[in-house]
Each structure stands twice: as C-alpha cells, then as structure tokens.
Amino acid sequence: MADAPPTSDSPLTTSTCADFMGLSSEWIRQAIMQGFPIDGALVKLEAETLSTGKRRIYRIQREAFNRFLRGIGWTRMFVAPVALAAN
C-alpha cells in the first residue's frame, strides 16, 4: 500500500523523505540512527521511533526534516502539498 501524501501537520515516513531526496529509505534510517559528520559536526535526523514487535516505525516532523536538510547543506526544503477543498 502506498503512503498517502502528507498534509502540512502529518508526520513524514522514511520513504517520503527518501523519495524527496532521491535516496533509499535505508539511508534515511542511517541518518536517524547514526547521523553523518558534516564540517566536524554530527548531523542527525530527529524522528519519533515507534516499536511494534520486531519492527520500528519512524515518524519525522516536517520541521525536523528541513532542519536536517539545512544541516547537510541542502537548499531545497520539503513543503507538504496543500489539500484541495472540494467545491
């Protein structure tokens, strides 16, 4: 089942972040768990971790994702799509 498009206040998934960056979900999980050294500082992606048995689900807030993007030097930020009102 495909992820629903995020709204402005819904948390992002690792796959949404990965698709935006053109990278894998594994790379995003690595950014959450270990981070990456950038200019002598460790830059990590903040995420809420939910454990369900053996599986971990990461929920990433848009603001945290954009902070991470700025931290690694990206200039393009994530903007959630606006829901269209029905006429």
63 within a domain of the structure (yes/no): yes
33 within a domain of the structure (yes/no): yes
22 within a domain of the structure (yes/no): yes
CA distance 27 to 48: 17
Average pLDDT of the chain? 88
51 within a domain of the structure (yes/no): yes
How many domains, the chain? 1
- Structural domain harbouring 59: 14-71
**Is the per-residue pLDDT at 70 higher than 50?**
yes
The distance between the two most distant Cα atoms of the chain, rounded to a whole number of Å, is 52
Q: What is the pLDDT of residue 6?
A: 52
Residue 8's CB is within 10 A of a number of other CB atoms, namely: 10
pTM of the predicted model as reported, rounded to 2 decimal places: 0.81
Task: Tell me the per-residue pLDDT of 4-50, one tens digit each, with 9 for 90 and over.
Answer: 555 557 899 999 999 999 999 999 999 999 999 999 999 999 999 99
76 within a domain of the structure (yes/no): no
81 within a domain of the structure (yes/no): no
